[in-house]
Amino acid sequence: MTVTHGPIYETTFFVDADRADEFDEWLLGRVDEAGLADEIAACRAFEIEDDEEGRAGRVCQFTLNEGASVENFLDGYGTDVEAEAEAKFSVLFSSRLLREDSSLDVASEENPDCLNCGTRLRGQYCGTCGQRSRSRLISLWELISDAFGDIFELDSRLWKTLVPLLRRPGQLTADYLAGRRARFMPPFRTYLVLSLIFFVVAFFDPREELSFLFEPEPEPTVEEQAAAEERKREIVEQLKEEAVAAAEKADIAHELEELAEQQGGAVIRINGDDGDDRSCDELTSDLAAMPEWMKKRLTPERLQRVCERTQTAEGGNALIANMIDNVPAALIVLLPIMALVLLILYPLSRHYYVEHLLFFVHFHAFFFLILTLLILFKRLGDLVGLPEAIIVLTDVAASFYIPIYLYVAMRKVYGQGRIVTFLKYIALVTTYIMGFAATMLGALAIAAFSI
């Protein structure tokens, strides 16, 4: 008796070699289960050659019964197998039909088009854009899961990105350039998320920003105020003595003449022999040597006004606040500058400019990540009472790890020898320090003129 069957649906899997045995055991179990499905006539699995990355290759073929619809198979068992394999083993897979099936051209009320891109749906998710087939959120928990799923899921792209970013210098950049990108967060998104977390952790003070949520602190007593004033006078006198001693030691032709307290802060002015205040006048005296386009913007009146504002306690606090606000933008400006330096250092590397930019995006993301961890560790140490020596040793270890990380990352991505890489590393660090100082001065200037 001749038995005819319907179409054959084939799925090819590539799984990490160290998990191949575990995957084989799981795949054989799914093959056994497939024999119990009504629409499946037979199922078999076999090995194929490993891919270029060394991942183990496996093929699973589902032979459907005559008259069975591939659409129904994909809506049920077929989609479940692929989704479970991807969730459990992070496999790469591709599928194809080995025999034509006319049911593919037949519309079905049970399989509507994707509401996002219009592609025919085959299962719970769209094969083109990835959107879920359901058109509305079922619960508040699903809304929260969509918002924070990448943070709380241990196998999410966030954690798959942060671990190699912290522990394997240059590996993330090398993987991205090699085309292994889907498993990681996009580079600029990683940079922006980590920079945002860093500035929130480092500079956000809940008691200051959300003061209305906290009970006001009790006003200091008269004795406490007198003690605070006494401590302030002692500090001011000490600063005065140190400044005079430094001026005498350096043989500077100025003497410290006036020292006053203004609204809780001390203002130190260094005057000339004629007794006139020249702290702001000297700032405007060199305008003649500046370019014409700069003199039109940095007028003496404008510089005088900025100088006077920054000398007050309120102005100094505003200057610091504006400076902190400008630092993220200054670091973003620094990225293309350093990418240009890498392009000059590696003219024969066959890397495009944007690939050099990617290198520094990942390095800055690592820098924000490790600084955030150091701040959190210090605060946790203060909270649980860790010895100060442990915190200091951690900071010292991080200060050594950061430059070593940059050197190892350069070798990993560009693949040159130790000596050549070290020479280029020295040139890169030198230009980086100069570029960082220039961008910070620019941020300071913008902060001063925005007071």
- Average pLDDT over the chain reads 75
Is it the case that residue 258 has pLDDT exceeding 90?
no
pTM over 0.75: no
Q: Which residue has the higher pLDDT, 104 or 415?
A: 415
Is it the case that residue 362 has pLDDT exceeding 70?
yes
Of the candidates 198, 180, 164, 140, the residue with the CA atom closest to the CA atom of residue 324: 198
Is it the case that residue 350 has pLDDT exceeding 50?
yes
Q: What's the pLDDT at 159?
A: 80
- Identify how many contiguous H helices and E strands the chain contains and give both numbers: 16, 6
Q: Domains (ranges, CATH) in the chain? A: 5-105 (3.30.70.100), 165-217+312-451 (no CATH), 218-262+264-289 (no CATH)
pLDDT band at 9 (very low <50, low <70, confident <90, very high): confident
Greatest extent of the chain over all pairs of C-alpha atoms, in Å:
119
The set of residues, in sequence order, having a beta carbon less than 8 Å from that of 406 and lying 6+ positions away, is 169, 363, 425, 428, 429
153-192 pLDDT, tens digit each: 555 677 888 888 998 999 999 888 888 887 788 888 888 8
193-218 pLDDT, tens digit each: 888 888 888 877 666 655 555 566 66
Q: Which residues are 265's β-sheet partners?
A: 262
Q: What's the pLDDT at 80?
A: 81
Q: What's the pLDDT at 330?
A: 82
Q: Give me the residue label for tokens 């600029």.
A: 188
DSSP 8-state symbol, 12:
E
Of the candidates 266, 278, 271, the residue with the CA atom closest to the CA atom of residue 247: 271
Is it the case that residue 107 has pLDDT exceeding 60?
no
Is it the case that residue 140 has pLDDT exceeding 90?
no
Task: Evaluate whether 443 touches 298 at the Cβ level (below 8 Å).
Answer: no
Q: Which residue has the higher pLDDT, 7 or 372?
A: 372
